[in-house]
Chains A and B, each alone.
Chain A
Amino acid sequence: MAENYDIIVVGAGHAGCEAALAAARMGCQALLLTLNLDAVAQMSCNPAIGGLAKGHLVREIDALGGEMARNIDATGIQFRVLNTKKGPAVRASRAQADRDLYRARMKQVVEAQEGLDLKQGQVISLVVEGEGVAGVETRDGLRFLAPTVILTTGTFMRGLIHVGLSHYPGGRAGEPPSEGLSDQLRTLGFDVGRLKTGTPPRLDAATIDFSVLEEQPGDPVPKPFSADTLGLDRPQVPCHITYTNERTHEVIRGGLDRSPLYSGVIEGVGPRYCPSIEDKVVRFPEKDHHQIFLEPEGLTSGEVYPNGVSTSLPVDVQLAYLRTMKGLERVEIMRPGYAIEYDYVDPIQLKPSLETKLLRGLYHAGQINGTSGYEEAAGQGLLAGINAVLQVKGREPVVIGRDQGYLGVLVDDLVNLGTKEPYRMFTSRAEYRLLLREDNADQRLSPLGREVGLLTDERWEKFSKKLVDLERGNERLRTKRISPGNHEALDRLGLQGLKNGASLEELLRRPEIGIGDLDFLDAELASFSQEVRSELETEIKYAGYIRRQQEQVERFRRLESLEIPEGFDYDTVSGFSAEVREKLKRVAPRTLGQAGRIPGVTPAAVAILTVFLRR
């Protein structure tokens, strides 16, 4: 007899865990099925969370009530804020994780979650009823039924691992692939494509001479990702830096004839922003060295992750080129690097809710949509989880705007552009970047997280207090003035020439004055949290730019608010070229703004569409 659930999530990766947790936390009965219970939330590649644009995503996940930020805070072993020398909008948090702890903690959270069952099992097919999904079947012959299913199969569908010229089926090193599912999806009418990614070898720490290498410590005061985290008490460990050199490159060139990438064995498209070391050497021959970070895999693990030498060369070549590098002269490989090809489903076949257009109740999230990265996956998983619940409850789906978050940019890009190569987030993909900062992720998204029921009362109170503090802080800055007669203060600020006095806000606009410099002038201002203070500073220092960006958003929203009715018949519009018509039909945009973002849909076509919608 089949068991019944509200929501079934297939795959307990980063997307799947978020989806399942959100579903259960929002009050649904959820099942999380995965291939291997010992690999829940496994970090397939880099043992790190965050980074440029990805740190933003993690903060957004936290603002919505997701788990990723709390998980990395609890298991991180080195925290750093990147881009500190650049502007406030592109500063981003990154943390090294203890891989085993990260996985173990997420599993515990999932296990402890009420309303959520975690089971091992390989889903081999979907149960389809009419135009909707109705459940799944596992290889063990079990059947689970639910009106909504979220597929988060990562790199597993028809996964094929390449090391040198040998290759074998696998979803990740040491794990089997998922067979059958993607064939069924293809039969159901989905566009299933093939992508590729790769990972570096893992090194034996005991065979590395760290004493000759430059050390890269974390920040002296580590900053957590989650607003729930009170403190980070785990010991922080350093990374180390080494470089490739001409000899390394020579060895690599010498091994290219046995590279699956250069001998044409691999068909899948790889990520350009995550090139393998052989790719870097071939494409940028003029670069005589590449920087490599040696990252610890954990506090107790003896493995080291060499960030920057992802490869699918044969193991003997991997070892040979590694040994040309400083500090790695005697290194041993514990797990070889490899490339993996896998099936993905073109996300152009998704609605902005991440529900598929073809099968009601079926959602896709994570790498199955052609994205790459834990954070991208987790964000989608969370959103798919939320929307599946809303569907079960008969409510309208949540769509996050491009002006509201990187998560909005991510999903909008996926559903409008589709993916032809692995998609990763960059800050440059966001047109309203100045508004999408890490520091205001909660202001952008927590109200939504609260509304759908993912934020606890405690968390909501904390957030509300932040809003009050910001308001109060702004008021202090505006009203508190310093008079021209206050020589002591002026001397301290180096503003001897000030004639007319000024408000603290005016002082803060000066490039040379930071909010900390004003502490002695206002005790209340000094009493706010670091987070509140730095946000106050940013909002004032960049007020001009922020206002301009808000005006851009206003314009954007106008087009965004012009809805195209569902099922609109593009064949009745005669002014379109066949190409434009085909694209519009394929994407079926929800708004005029979205229509305009589909590549190939010309401004003239949008104008025509406007005319038709107005009638």
Chain B
Amino acid sequence: MLSLDTIVAPATPPGEGGVGIVRLSGPRAVDFLGTTFRGNTTITRMESHRLYYGKLFNSDEERVDEVLAVIMRAPRSYTGEDVVEIHCHGGTQILRSVLDLFLKAGARMAGPGEFTQRAFLNGRLDLAQAEAVIGVIKARSERASRVALDQLDGHLSQKIYKFSEQLKQSLALLEAHIDFPDDEVGALDLPGLLAPLRKISLQVDTLVGSFDVGRVLREGVNVLILGRPNVGKSSLMNAILGESRAIVNEIAGTTRDTLEEQLVLAGFPVRLVDAAGVRDTDDPVEQEGVRRAREKAAVADLVLMVVDGSCPLTGQDILALELCRPDNTLVVVNKSDQAQNCDLERLVGFPCRVSVSAKYSLGLDDLSEAILGLLKGGAASSEGEEGVVVTERRHRDALLLTKAALKELLASAEDSAPLECLAMDLREALSALGLITGETTPDEILDQIFSQFCVGK
């Protein structure tokens, strides 16, 4: 975890772009540049944060590329360590050889998010920023990346700072009335003091509620395709995949008993889990199959329950249906290209339905719309105000602690507890928020008191 070694990684995505950047960070970053770079200025005389032109050579004195190099000396760099960036030609091949050059020299390939981690460890980022950067790295869809960026430029931080400002303000007021006599600070208006805290308590609640949306954005929505054998599950999966132009990643399903695909559906990163690959073991009629299907349905964010529109429901259909919850189940009536002969009226309690023909890719727009509707109606609607959502469990936990302390505070006030007890609750709330924003020192509270009240003899 400690930056004893020097790491290297491409800072631009690989591809045939014009310029590629390779970044080094760590105590030997400048050394490594020294052994490979020849320019008009020698390394020792290069100023921090200035670009220098030169050429890179490997240990056999062969020229690797013509480059621009910049040294950013600690602590004024992104990671807080010595950082070197090499701007080279952008081709994959060149990037690869530049990387190799430094790996050979003794640098280590950076792990995902390791630059950020170092930045954080060296105090260059606050926790919320660091986590958001990691969020950006991991974001797998447009939507998730928007939330991650919001957090980075501090929407979440801003919101939480706002809370913490208000808590500080209230605490200062409270402490002023504890540490100074009434003739200097006036009588305490307790209801007036509590009102904004009540409001914050509700807002914190909303933010905590947004956490599930956050998780969805981070990890993707878990969508399960369920149904009896031969009802058209795999064709539905293929149809959906065919529609989606943004296949992000394919996890080989051959060795597993489920097939998973990741895609972006209606703006959400979706993990589509198909029961098709499970063969008959996933058949709800079989005991084992029922158990497994139930497990999957329980963790799914959304279940696409496929039935055959061309024939009446069977006992197996009903068995499968029993595994579903109405609020997150979309009944997909397949085979709309054939004559419809299904007794859908038996599906009481499952009002969300959509007709499709997986075979001919009909009704897929309706399907995505219905999926979006369900996702938004569920998790997405609990997004915090201004679209701020909490995506990190740690943030959520801190907010939960804050909420609990505020609840204690309001209860204490209800019981007419003395001011120092209220202050204790409020300090707890503040220090819980401090897990995200950093601590508040007693001096800051005193500063506020002195700036607001004419106190002292």
Contact of B417 among A284, A545, A576 (CB under 8 A): A545
| A417 / chain B contacts, CB cutoff of 8 Å | 443
In the complex, the chain B residue whose C-beta lies closest to that of A82 is B181
Asked if residues A428 and B175 are in contact (CB atoms below 8 Å), the reply is: yes
In the complex, the chain A residue whose C-beta lies closest to that of B416 is A511
For residue A558, CB closer than 8 A to chain B, the reply is no
Expressed in whole angstroms, the minimum distance between the Cβ of A424 and any Cβ of chain B is 9
For residue A121, CB closer than 8 A to chain B, the reply is no
| A90 / chain B contacts, CB cutoff of 8 Å | 178-179, 418-420
| A125 / chain B contacts, CB cutoff of 8 Å | none
Bound CA span A604–B27, Å = 19
Name the residue among A46, A275, A611 with the largest chain B CB count within 10 angstroms: A275
For residue B450, CB closer than 8 A to chain A, the reply is yes
SS class of chain A's interface: helix, strand, loop or mixed? Answer: loop
Asked if residues B421 and A542 are in contact (CB atoms below 8 Å), the reply is: yes
Asked if residues A599 and B441 are in contact (CB atoms below 8 Å), the reply is: yes
For residue A507, CB closer than 8 A to chain B, the reply is no
For residue B135, CB closer than 8 A to chain A, the reply is no
| Segment from B11-19, B116-124, B297-305, B389-397 that makes contact with A | B116-124
Bound CA span A580–B309, Å = 69
Asked if residues A604 and B122 are in contact (CB atoms below 8 Å), the reply is: yes
For residue A61, CB closer than 8 A to chain B, the reply is no
Asked if residues B122 and A280 are in contact (CB atoms below 8 Å), the reply is: no
Bound CA span A573–B1, Å = 12
For residue A351, CB closer than 8 A to chain B, the reply is no
Expressed in whole angstroms, the minimum distance between the Cβ of B444 and any Cβ of chain A is 10
Given contacts A604-B121, A604-B122, contact A273 B420 (CB under 8 A): no
Expressed in whole angstroms, the minimum distance between the Cβ of A540 and any Cβ of chain B is 14
Given contacts A87-B418, A308-B457, A611-B1, contact A580 B445 (CB under 8 A): no
Bound CA span A431–B442, Å = 8
| B438 / chain A contacts, CB cutoff of 8 Å | 602-603
Given contacts A82-B181, A431-B427, A578-B75, contact A602 B123 (CB under 8 A): yes
Name the residue among B74, B175, B415, B421 with the largest chain A CB count within 10 angstroms: B421
Asked if residues A574 and B4 are in contact (CB atoms below 8 Å), the reply is: yes
In the complex, the chain A residue whose C-beta lies closest to that of B452 is A284
| A293 / chain B contacts, CB cutoff of 8 Å | 457
Contact of B75 among A272, A274, A545, A579 (CB under 8 A): A579
Asked if residues A427 and B2 are in contact (CB atoms below 8 Å), the reply is: no
For residue A81, CB closer than 8 A to chain B, the reply is no
For residue B248, CB closer than 8 A to chain A, the reply is no
| B120 / chain A contacts, CB cutoff of 8 Å | 604
For residue A283, CB closer than 8 A to chain B, the reply is yes
Asked if residues A52 and B180 are in contact (CB atoms below 8 Å), the reply is: yes
For residue B183, CB closer than 8 A to chain A, the reply is yes
| B441 / chain A contacts, CB cutoff of 8 Å | 599
Provide the B55-80 mask, 1 if CB < 8 A to any CB of A, else 0: 00000000000000000001100001
Bound CA span A434–B178, Å = 12
Contact of A284 among B3, B412, B454 (CB under 8 A): B454
| A88 / chain B contacts, CB cutoff of 8 Å | 418
Asked if residues B179 and A577 are in contact (CB atoms below 8 Å), the reply is: no
Asked if residues A291 and B183 are in contact (CB atoms below 8 Å), the reply is: yes
Provide the B415-457 mask, 1 if CB < 8 A to any CB of A, else 0: 1111111011001000000000010011101100110001111
Expressed in whole angstroms, the minimum distance between the Cβ of B282 and any Cβ of chain A is 46
Bound CA span A50–B286, Å = 81
Asked if residues A89 and B75 are in contact (CB atoms below 8 Å), the reply is: no
For residue A548, CB closer than 8 A to chain B, the reply is yes
For residue A64, CB closer than 8 A to chain B, the reply is no
Asked if residues A611 and B121 are in contact (CB atoms below 8 Å), the reply is: no
Asked if residues B454 and A273 are in contact (CB atoms below 8 Å), the reply is: no
For residue B295, CB closer than 8 A to chain A, the reply is no
Bound CA span A160–B310, Å = 102
Asked if residues A86 and B417 are in contact (CB atoms below 8 Å), the reply is: no
| B412 / chain A contacts, CB cutoff of 8 Å | 545
In the complex, the chain B residue whose C-beta lies closest to that of A409 is B442
Bound CA span A427–B176, Å = 10
For residue A605, CB closer than 8 A to chain B, the reply is yes
For residue B142, CB closer than 8 A to chain A, the reply is no
| A608 / chain B contacts, CB cutoff of 8 Å | 1-2, 121
Provide the A601-613 mask, 1 if CB < 8 A to any CB of B, else 0: 0111101100100
Expressed in whole angstroms, the minimum distance between the Cβ of B17 and any Cβ of chain A is 34
Asked if residues A511 and B415 are in contact (CB atoms below 8 Å), the reply is: yes
Expressed in whole angstroms, the minimum distance between the Cβ of B82 and any Cβ of chain A is 11
Expressed in whole angstroms, the minimum distance between the Cβ of A328 and any Cβ of chain B is 17
Please count how many residues in chain A sit with their CB below 8 Å of the partner chain's CB atoms: 54
Contact residues of A between 71 and 89, Cβ < 8 Å to B: 82-83, 86-89
For residue A152, CB closer than 8 A to chain B, the reply is no
Contact residues of A between 289 and 328, Cβ < 8 Å to B: 290-291, 293, 307-308, 310
Expressed in whole angstroms, the minimum distance between the Cβ of A291 and any Cβ of chain B is 5
| A603 / chain B contacts, CB cutoff of 8 Å | 127, 438
Name the residue among A310, A575, A605 with the largest chain B CB count within 10 angstroms: A575
For residue A429, CB closer than 8 A to chain B, the reply is yes
Expressed in whole angstroms, the minimum distance between the Cβ of B331 and any Cβ of chain A is 50
For residue B184, CB closer than 8 A to chain A, the reply is yes
Bound CA span A315–B415, Å = 52
Asked if residues B454 and A290 are in contact (CB atoms below 8 Å), the reply is: yes
For residue A41, CB closer than 8 A to chain B, the reply is no
Contact residues of A between 268 and 288, Cβ < 8 Å to B: 271-275, 280, 283-284, 287
Asked if residues A578 and B74 are in contact (CB atoms below 8 Å), the reply is: yes
| A271 / chain B contacts, CB cutoff of 8 Å | 456
Expressed in whole angstroms, the minimum distance between the Cβ of A365 and any Cβ of chain B is 22
| B1 / chain A contacts, CB cutoff of 8 Å | 608, 611
Bound CA span A89–B420, Å = 7
Contact residues of B between 223 and 272, Cβ < 8 Å to A: none
| A604 / chain B contacts, CB cutoff of 8 Å | 120-123
For residue A426, CB closer than 8 A to chain B, the reply is yes
Provide the A444-459 mask, 1 if CB < 8 A to any CB of B, else 0: 0000000000000000
Contact residues of A between 82 and 117, Cβ < 8 Å to B: 82-83, 86-90
Asked if residues A52 and B457 are in contact (CB atoms below 8 Å), the reply is: no
Bound CA span A549–B121, Å = 31
Contact residues of B between 365 and 424, Cβ < 8 Å to A: 412, 415-421, 423-424
Given contacts A88-B418, A90-B178, contact A272 B123 (CB under 8 A): no
Asked if residues B2 and A434 are in contact (CB atoms below 8 Å), the reply is: no
Asked if residues A434 and B420 are in contact (CB atoms below 8 Å), the reply is: yes
Provide the A545-587 mask, 1 if CB < 8 A to any CB of B, else 0: 1001100000000000000000000000111111110000000
| B121 / chain A contacts, CB cutoff of 8 Å | 575, 604, 607-608
Given contacts A426-B179, A434-B424, contact A87 B419 (CB under 8 A): yes
Bound CA span A427–B441, Å = 14
Name the residue among A87, A293, A307, A308 with the largest chain B CB count within 10 angstroms: A87
Asked if residues B421 and A87 are in contact (CB atoms below 8 Å), the reply is: yes
In the complex, the chain A residue whose C-beta lies closest to that of B2 is A575
Contact of B446 among A83, A426, A573 (CB under 8 A): A426
| B418 / chain A contacts, CB cutoff of 8 Å | 86-90, 542
In the complex, the chain B residue whose C-beta lies closest to that of A271 is B456
| B181 / chain A contacts, CB cutoff of 8 Å | 82
Bound CA span A428–B123, Å = 28
| B455 / chain A contacts, CB cutoff of 8 Å | 273
For residue A533, CB closer than 8 A to chain B, the reply is no
| B177 / chain A contacts, CB cutoff of 8 Å | 86
For residue A53, CB closer than 8 A to chain B, the reply is yes
Asked if residues A283 and B75 are in contact (CB atoms below 8 Å), the reply is: no
Asked if residues A577 and B80 are in contact (CB atoms below 8 Å), the reply is: yes
Asked if residues A291 and B184 are in contact (CB atoms below 8 Å), the reply is: yes
In the complex, the chain A residue whose C-beta lies closest to that of B130 is A604
Asked if residues A273 and B416 are in contact (CB atoms below 8 Å), the reply is: no
For residue A433, CB closer than 8 A to chain B, the reply is yes
The 19 sampled A-B contact pairs (Cβ below 8 Å) are A82-B181, A90-B179, A90-B419, A275-B454, A427-B420, A428-B445, A428-B449, A429-B442, A434-B424, A511-B415, A542-B417, A542-B418, A545-B421, A574-B4, A577-B74, A599-B441, A602-B438, A603-B438, A611-B1
What 8 pairs between A and B have smallest CB-CB spacing? Answer: A87-B418, A273-B456, A284-B454, A428-B175, A272-B450, A291-B183, A87-B420, A602-B123
